């Protein structure tokens, strides 16, 4: 299956004391919804056409037999929804008898009768990460998003009807790709940097001499291959004076050195902090043009992971005490 990467970007804007500019974001598609309507009235995707409401024959969406115009399975609610059996992400909803794609009986998608080999009705999505499930249940479609139609038989050589016509229901659901990404603070800061101590950024902008959380980032996704959380941006500056980034080795900087770094602690979900930000010390090896990975998840369990970000800075005696600033950009790439 192909992988579709979705990238979501948020800025952490460090000015004077570190100001955070952020727009909360949630990316989620709605549930699948299907109904029986006329061909003319369907504003969504037609999955199957039927000759009547019960004891009916079926034809493919690509057909145009007039007698089938008044009872079509019309589906909406999912971005990228389609009926292509050639799409890379598709599931067969029913196999049709014969070779013309019309005036057909149907069978379940797990049957292998020769007369049903060439014509199939499908539910597809243009998004590789969407998980499409079709099932066959008696009485109702509990556990699915919607009922597509019903079958007079239980396996093969079946007529079709509207969902209430028969007890044998054809059910479907689409678990759409989603990712959420949030940063909780809109201002954090070190206060004045001095060569006589380490300063940790705090949400009140005054800074602290003891390590504390500067801000937190929450990430969750149902992407099959998880996500990556990245940061980019240059080190702190004050005019022409620059605080040296710690680099890719996790250390606790020495008082009176030039150092800027961060580390992260993860709680919840399947995400975890990666090297060099997962130690007890600090690191920073990104630039404005070269991002670095802060955390990642190898699977999308849909459970939020909260990353507590701690930032530290110190200057040497050659730099003027004062406020130093930079711009950091965080972004998440979900692997669908």
pLDDT tens per residue across span 144-180: 999 999 999 999 999 999 999 999 999 999 988 788 8
Q: Which of 277, 275, 334 is nearest to 307 (CA)?
A: 277
> Of residues 5 and 44, which shows the higher confidence score?
44
Given a cut of 90, whether residue 102 has pLDDT beyond it is: yes
- Region 126-144: what's the mean pLDDT? 93
Ramachandran region, residue 276 (left: φ > 0; alpha: ψ -120 to 50; beta: rest)? alpha
Query: Could you give the angle at the alpha carbon of 163 between the alpha carbons of 47 and 153, nearest 5°?
Result: 90
Q: Is the peptide bond before 276 cis (omega within 30 degrees of 0)?
A: yes
- Report the percent of the chain where pLDDT is more than 70: 90
> Of residues 31 and 217, which shows the higher confidence score?
217
Q: What pLDDT does 151 receive?
A: 98
Q: Which of 55, 53, 126 is nearest to 86 (CA)?
A: 126
Cα dihedral 232, 254, 296, 237, rounded to 10, equals -10
In this prediction, residue 327 has a pLDDT band, given cuts at 50, 70 and 90, of confident
What is the spatial distance between Cα 198 and Cα 316, in angstroms, rounded to a whole number? Answer: 11
According to DSSP, the residues that pair with 75 across neighbouring strands are 34, 45
- Region 79-104: what's the mean pLDDT? 97
What is the spatial distance between Cα 43 and Cα 306, in angstroms, rounded to a whole number? Answer: 40
In this prediction, residue 273 has a pLDDT band, given cuts at 50, 70 and 90, of very high
Residue 27: CB atoms within 10 A of its CB come to 15
- Region 208-214: what's the mean pLDDT? 95
Mean pLDDT of the chain: 90
> Of residues 224 and 149, which shows the higher confidence score?
149
Residue 327: CB atoms within 10 A of its CB come to 16
pLDDT tens per residue across span 293-305: 999 999 888 889 9
- Region 218-237: what's the mean pLDDT? 90
Residue 185: Cβ-neighbour burial (10 angstroms; 0-12, 13-18, 19+): buried
Given a cut of 50, whether residue 18 has pLDDT beyond it is: no
Domain locations along the chain: 5-28+178-335, 33-175
Q: Which of 208, 206, 233, 197 is nearest to 315 (CA)?
A: 197
Q: Which of 202, 194, 205, 179 is nearest to 256 (CA)?
A: 194
- Region 12-36: what's the mean pLDDT? 53
Residue 190: CB atoms within 10 A of its CB come to 30
In this prediction, residue 4 has a pLDDT band, given cuts at 50, 70 and 90, of very low
Q: Which of 12-21, 137-146, 281-290, 313-322 has the lowest mean pLDDT?
A: 12-21
């Amino acid at each position: 299956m192909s992988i579709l990467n979705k990238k979501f970007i948020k800025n952490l804007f460090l000015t004077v004391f570190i100001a955070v500019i952020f727009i909360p974001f949630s990316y989620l598609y709605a549930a699948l919804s299907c109904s029986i309507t006329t061909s003319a009235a369907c504003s969504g995707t037609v999955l199957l056409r039927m000759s009547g409401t019960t004891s009916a024959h079926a034809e493919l969406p690509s057909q145009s037999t007039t007698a089938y115009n008044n009872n079509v399975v019309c589906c909406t609610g999912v971005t990228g929804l389609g009926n292509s059996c050639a799409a890379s992400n598709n599931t067969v909803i029913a196999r049709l008898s014969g070779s013309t794609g019309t005036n057909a009986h149907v069978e379940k998608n797990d049957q292998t009768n020769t007369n049903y080999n060439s014509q199939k009705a499908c539910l597809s999505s243009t998004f590789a990460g969407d998980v499409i499930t079709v099932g066959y249940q008696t009485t109702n479609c509990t556990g699915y998003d919607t009922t597509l139609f019903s079958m007079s038989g239980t396996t093969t050589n079946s007529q079709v009807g509207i969902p209430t016509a028969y007890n044998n229901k054809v059910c479907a659901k689409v678990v759409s790709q989603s990712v959420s990404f949030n940063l909780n603070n809109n201002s954090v800061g070190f206060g004045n940097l001095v060569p006589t101590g380490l300063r940790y950024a705090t949400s009140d902008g005054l800074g602290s001499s003891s390590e504390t959380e500067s801000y937190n980032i929450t990430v969750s996704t149902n992407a099959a291959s998880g996500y990556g959380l990245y940061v980019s941006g240059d080190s702190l500056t004050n005019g022409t004076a620059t605080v040296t980034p710690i680099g890719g080795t996790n250390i606790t900087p020495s008082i009176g050195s030039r150092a800027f770094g961060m580390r992260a602690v993860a709680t919840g979900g399947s995400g975890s902090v990666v090297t060099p930000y997962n130690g007890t010390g600090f690191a920073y090896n990104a630039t404005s043009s070269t991002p670095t990975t802060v955390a990642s998840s190898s699977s999308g369990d849909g459970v939020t992971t909260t990353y507590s970000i701690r930032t530290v800075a110190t200057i040497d005696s050659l730099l003027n005490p004062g406020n130093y600033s930079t711009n950091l950009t965080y972004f998440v790439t979900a692997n669908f």
